[in-house]
Structure 1
Amino acid sequence: MEEQFIAGFCRRGAVTVLPIKPLPEFGLSIQKSILTLDMSPVVYSGFGLSAKKVKQEKKKVFYRFQVDLKSSQFQRNGPVHTRLRSFFKAFTNPLELGTRIPRCLGNLGPFFVDWLPDSSVTQINEFPKSESIASYLNDKEHLVIRPQCEVFNYIGSPILIPELISWDKLPLKQEENSCTCTEIDKTSDFLNIVNIRLGLTVLSYLAAGISFPDSAISNRVPSDNPCLTNASLSPIYAQTIDEILLPVYKLEKLNIIYLSGLFPDCCYDELEDKIKSMLAESQRGDELVYMCRCPLKVTTDSVQSLKQSVDHLGTLFLTGRKHVSDSQGLPLIKIRF
């Protein structure tokens, strides 16, 4: 994490993280205690602080802002600190914040990640690394966010999600075996985009701590969750349940893995490879793993908009159904959404 992020602008209960992303329009560097920002004229027009104009070759110019993070000019929640924090945050959503960041630069971000500490945050007295802006904001205490992994064993009624794949239409090769992973595009004919939306919605509810009892178990007491007993409190949830039709994928034994802290893309990819390997070596006939790489949310978007979306929300792994012939082996399917 230290190689890809500079953690800084620490405030009570929150940490701002600046991703180091090389861009011709914007550059950020820290040497000793000097923070340097190099900006194109367009970026500088929304900066809001005075900077030095520097000429380059071919009559090009850029603007350089420098501040000594140890100087009295840079104080926690002072004018410079506040403006810099607002400037970085504006790249996340410049229109919503109403800052002077030009609209054309909205695709350059995000430069700002706001993380609310949880149980994985430890308050320590160690001095931060020299490349961290946090080391100049507080000489006594600061917050350290460590990546943390927790496994939660789900115990409750079976969870039903619709079948996501038409297995009879799946073009499996005869030589495929359980050690092979087939990557599938979400627009493939044998994927049911409506079922995928419903399935991921149910999994999102499950990860958020919401589930519903199996209707086949008549003597089971419903959950005390008001969103489950009163459909008017959660109409989207009630609609999701009503839309699930046969055939269904029955999930009984579930492990939910919660990742907290800061996980760069490389960590996500490593975890994805590990899960793929575990599924490939498994002897079970039916397994499903859904990996979400962004905050879970229940969407009301139309099916058409889901088909056109290019955002990578997560990865879904499926191992073959029991009715797939033994000669084909147990296919491992990987779907990116």
Structure 2
Amino acid sequence: MSGNSLGKLFCVTNFGESHGPAIGCVVDGCPPGMKLDHLDIQSELDRRKPGTSRHVTQRQEKDEVEILSGVYNGVTTGTPIALLIRNIDARSKDYSNIAEAFRPGHADYSYWHKYGVRDPRGGGRSSARLTAPTVAAGAIAKKWLFETYNISISAYMSQLGKISIPFISYDYIDKNPFFSPNMEIVPELENYMDLLRKNGDSIGARIEVVANNVPVGLGEPIYDRLDADIAHIMMGLNAVKAVSIGSGFDCIGQLGSEHGDEITPGGFKSNNSGGILGGISTGQPINVSLAIKPTSSIRVERNSVNKNNEAVVVQTFGRHDPCVGIRAVPIVESMMAIILIDHALRYRGQCGIK
């Protein structure tokens, strides 16, 4: 199976399965000389790990990261950084009833038909568990971007199902289980999720991510456009079905005189472009919005087929997120960081600029 590496100069290769002995990644291309220890990475993993509230999967994984290489005396050496996260709470027996059948909306069907074999335990390679190594790699990228360019990246949930979440402050995002920028709406979100979990169903969400202090000039024309690479990595996150940048689909109803961001000696007057023009960053905040579909593994009985193409009724047990969007915030931040550091290193190499 190919397609498990991302980036050119900052390259991340992800490995493992949901119920295997461990998951992890190899980060190749991190610049040398940056102070780094496991706590820099662990703090981000703790934001993503399961079992943090009653609204997410109750799988109890500590997600403790081990740095196997690439760091000496607390400093990156410029060589590959291998990161390992051991699985300690897998319950493979929970998936015995779907080993021969396909969950509607899940990758079971496409994996089986492509490869002729699949690991049904927790989704195997298609599990959102494999986002943990991405967060670990992203923690390294976030640290370098902040120290080198003062780039900060923040994501939050802006919609849960049909409930819109009005933005109030970034200060609230890590103070509630929904990564909501609005504390007043949290009780409504909790009641909604309690009812959803009782019914054995799932729901989607919308996540916003903003990168601030991005310098002008990141990205390449035509094929390696910054916005194209952002869309590419964001669509690589489990359950993402749509990505928009800047005004996104709203630009359809805008006139050219409205959409084009006017420029003054003091800077841009608006940011419909989402901080990117012609595939190259403008120096404005990069704004990205993601639509995340409902979790496919639910207790509600659904019609499907088995490997023999016989009609079956599928009901998924085990421990699953009724809304995978809840824990997506730190993942999305990390994915944005990985793309930005890769383009920052390309920019530095091509233009000779820090």
Same-fold call, TM > 0.5?
A: no
Bigger share in helix: 2
Higher relative contact order at CA 8 Å, sep ≥6: structure 1 or structure 2? 2
TM tier relative to shorter chain: under 0.3
TM-score w.r.t. length of structure 2? 0.25
Larger Rg: 1
Bigger share in strand: 1
TM-score w.r.t. length of structure 1? 0.26
